[in-house]
Chains A and B, each alone.
Chain A
Amino acid sequence: MKPAMPAPTTFDDIGAEEMAIRVRGVTKEFGSGDSMTRALRGVDLDVPYGELLMLVGPSGCGKTTLVSIIAGTLEPSAGDVSVLGKDLVTMTNGRKVCFRRENVGFIFQSYNLLPSLTAVENAAVPLLIAGWRRSAAVAAAADVLGRLGLGDRLTNLPSELSGGQQQRVAIARALVHEPRLLVCDEPTSALDAENGRITMELIQKIAVQPDRAVIVVTHDSRAYSFADRIAAMEDGRIESVASGPHHLAAPAPHSPDHP
């Protein structure tokens, strides 16, 4: 199920060329003067290809900010960010748009499906953005949805699907264009235990490949068992990085609101 690669616990265990994500000294500040908020305070993080890394931590610790920077949707205030061998800091906005289109798949907490598109049309959106013809995009999306067990729900609108089914459509949408980086923001938080487990299994089974990386932001401790490594964040910093199963056994490094 998981790639054969052993889970590293330190940054130096793996060479830079094997890293899907390399973050060095990244800071992010919002606002200025007295109202300035420092969301990230010098974050270092490496994620090798073939790994599913979970970012955990209390609300406001900077998980979403960090993952937004890694996904290329937010500029860091300082530091270096290299994703899939590309330097995102020096990349122009136009190139970043192309980079996201070609290389990044997104799974959002609230699904963000287009309510007026059917399941298969929603799943086809990244291919349509990439310029595919609608018929070809829909056929490819139907194939992915079939693999996710939604072959009989292709023409249903999101409002006609359960939360778990909507999240599977979102997974299909994130994977349909075969991105090399999958960014998941709280993918199980809106789901019950069973659907959360199914969702994580699908992400692990389909998305985790030797040439890809998956980064999951989550509060949901039930999802930890699917991680290769877990990076715990606190107050804009990464406090610890541990392999998944070990982390489960370790004392909780987070604030009281952590599950």
Chain B
Amino acid sequence: MFWIAWKMLIGNRAKYLGIVFGVVFAALLIAQQASIFCGLMSLTVSQIRDVQGPSIWVMDENVQFVDDIKPLSDTELFRVKGVQGVDWAVRFYKGIARARLEEGSYEQMILLGLDDATLVGAPEGVFMGSIADLRKPDAVIIDDAGYKRIWPGEPFRLGRVFEMNDHRAVVVGITKASRTFQSFPILYTRYSQAVTFAPPERKVLSFVLANPQPGLAPEEVCHRIEAQTGLQAVTRDQFLRKTIIYYLQKTGIPINFGITVFLGFLVGTAIAGQTFYLFTVENIRQFGALKAMGTSNWMILLMVLSQALHVGLVGYGVGVGLAALFGWWSRSMTRLSFFMPWQVLAITAAAVFVIVLVASVLSIRKVLVLDPAVVFRG
């Protein structure tokens, strides 16, 4: 009987494609918008992810997310180092600097200052020059996207010079780096160099990066740091979550994307529901004949549900496939952030399931109350 239901469904090409289109539209919009949202959220934490090595971030107690810099006194580094259980701790500068380029134009840049001795937090994707070159005077490493932004159309070249805060900076390396929320070029340099590039402030230490001694849980050491220094100490994962939650709660981003996703859900439900209902009405005599011939209401219900599920599966597959295609295209051709984790696929699947369920409810009611004697009426 499911085979008959399937043949009935695909037999009417126009209606079939209409229903599938509704589901595809909804799945595409939900998956695409949710993936762009996830992409944006991943941008907000890209700089935390890129700092490999330390598992503990220490900062001012009022810091809410990674870009919410509240500078510390340099002496805080030694207080953190003094906490029992801390294996090592280093300085980390993060700020925005204004660069004056060779031709006189200005460009804002994200400036990251790494510990002079250890260079903890250095980028891992250096493909031109080397990290060791950061020890040279005025040295900076720039990310490739930033290089293309400030010198568009020009080939990668080391030795380029620009100024920040009246100090000379020389490009000694080019690296791959994750894109940031602000999309500014990213500059890596030594901490002592960074504070000369940055606007003058009394306090300049953004974060202390630390690692627990072997055998100690980072969470436990965080508690100790907070208890002894009064600073805020979080693990890397906690800092990721904290930053994302900040953007979710304090910005309109989730609402904007949520509205689009909801509209996609509504429009998809309306198109699929209306077309599916029309399809059922059009086939009402066939359903009546099946009931007259001895098909039970239960089987009719399963037939309609199987039709709805078929449409849902096809629509979901095509919709998510198109969304993934869009993501692939946007990654290779544009700067649009796109990240499709399995959760997006699961949420889209759940939404599509609800859509086909809602779409089939009216149709199910129609065929269940259908009097089989309808087939005897002319």
Complex formed: what's the CA distance from A166 to B330 in Å? 54
* Segment at the B interface, from A125-133, A198-206, A251-259: A125-133
| Chain A residue contacts of B3, Cβ below 8 A | 128, 134
Confirm or deny: A108 has a beta carbon within 8 angstroms of a beta carbon on chain B. Answer: yes
**Contact B378 A112, beta carbon cutoff 8 Å:** no
Confirm or deny: A153 has a beta carbon within 8 angstroms of a beta carbon on chain B. Answer: no
Complex formed: what's the CA distance from A71 to B1 in Å? 22
Complex formed: what's the CA distance from A134 to B297 in Å? 21
* Segment at the A interface, from B51-59, B255-263, B287-295, B354-362: B287-295
- With A108-B375, A109-B378 as contacts: A126 and B293 at CB distance below 8 Å: yes
Contact of A112 among B4, B10, B11, B286 (CB under 8 A): B286
**Contact A97 B10, beta carbon cutoff 8 Å:** no
Contact of A73 among B11, B286, B373 (CB under 8 A): B373
Confirm or deny: A49 has a beta carbon within 8 angstroms of a beta carbon on chain B. Answer: no
Complex formed: what's the CA distance from A186 to B377 in Å? 10
Confirm or deny: A101 has a beta carbon within 8 angstroms of a beta carbon on chain B. Answer: yes
| Binary flags per residue of A138-155, CB closer than 8 Å to B gives 1, else 0 | 000000000000000000
| Chain B residue contacts of A128, Cβ below 8 A | 1, 3-4
Complex formed: what's the CA distance from A66 to B65 in Å? 78
| Chain A residue contacts of B371, Cβ below 8 A | 73-74
Confirm or deny: B12 has a beta carbon within 8 angstroms of a beta carbon on chain A. Answer: yes
Confirm or deny: A85 has a beta carbon within 8 angstroms of a beta carbon on chain B. Answer: no
Chain B residue at smallest Cβ distance from A68? B373
| Chain A residue contacts of B295, Cβ below 8 A | 97, 101, 129
Chain A interface, number of residues (Cβ within 8 angstroms): 32
| Binary flags per residue of A104-135, CB closer than 8 Å to B gives 1, else 0 | 10101110101111000100011011100010
Complex formed: what's the CA distance from A125 to B7 in Å? 12
Confirm or deny: B95 has a beta carbon within 8 angstroms of a beta carbon on chain A. Answer: no
| Chain B residue contacts of A185, Cβ below 8 A | 375-376
Interface hub of A101, A109, A112, A185 (most chain B Cβ within 10 A): A112
- With A116-B11, A117-B7 as contacts: A108 and B290 at CB distance below 8 Å: no
Complex formed: what's the CA distance from A128 to B4 in Å? 9
**Contact A101 B373, beta carbon cutoff 8 Å:** no
Chain A residue at smallest Cβ distance from B294? A101
Classify chain B: how many residues form its interface, as a range: 20 to 34
Complex formed: what's the CA distance from A112 to B377 in Å? 11
**Contact B294 A126, beta carbon cutoff 8 Å:** yes
The 4 closest A-B pairs by CB, nearest first: A116-B11, A101-B294, A112-B289, A68-B373
**Contact B12 A116, beta carbon cutoff 8 Å:** yes
Contact of B7 among A94, A109, A114 (CB under 8 A): A114
**Contact B294 A64, beta carbon cutoff 8 Å:** no
Confirm or deny: B343 has a beta carbon within 8 angstroms of a beta carbon on chain A. Answer: no
Contact of B293 among A100, A115, A186 (CB under 8 A): A100
| Chain A residue contacts of B378, Cβ below 8 A | 109-110, 186
Interface hub of A102, A126, A129, A186 (most chain B Cβ within 10 A): A129
**Contact A116 B7, beta carbon cutoff 8 Å:** yes
Give 16 CB contacts A-B under 8 Å: A94-B296, A97-B295, A99-B294, A100-B294, A106-B289, A106-B292, A108-B376, A114-B4, A115-B11, A116-B7, A116-B10, A117-B7, A125-B290, A126-B294, A185-B375, A185-B376
Contact of B292 among A98, A100, A115, A116 (CB under 8 A): A100
Confirm or deny: B8 has a beta carbon within 8 angstroms of a beta carbon on chain A. Answer: yes
Confirm or deny: A45 has a beta carbon within 8 angstroms of a beta carbon on chain B. Answer: no
Confirm or deny: A89 has a beta carbon within 8 angstroms of a beta carbon on chain B. Answer: no
Could you tell me which residues of chain B, from 320 to 378, have a CB within 8 Å of some CB in chain A?
Answer: 371-373, 375-378
Q: How far is the CB of B302 from chain A (nearest CB, A)?
A: 13
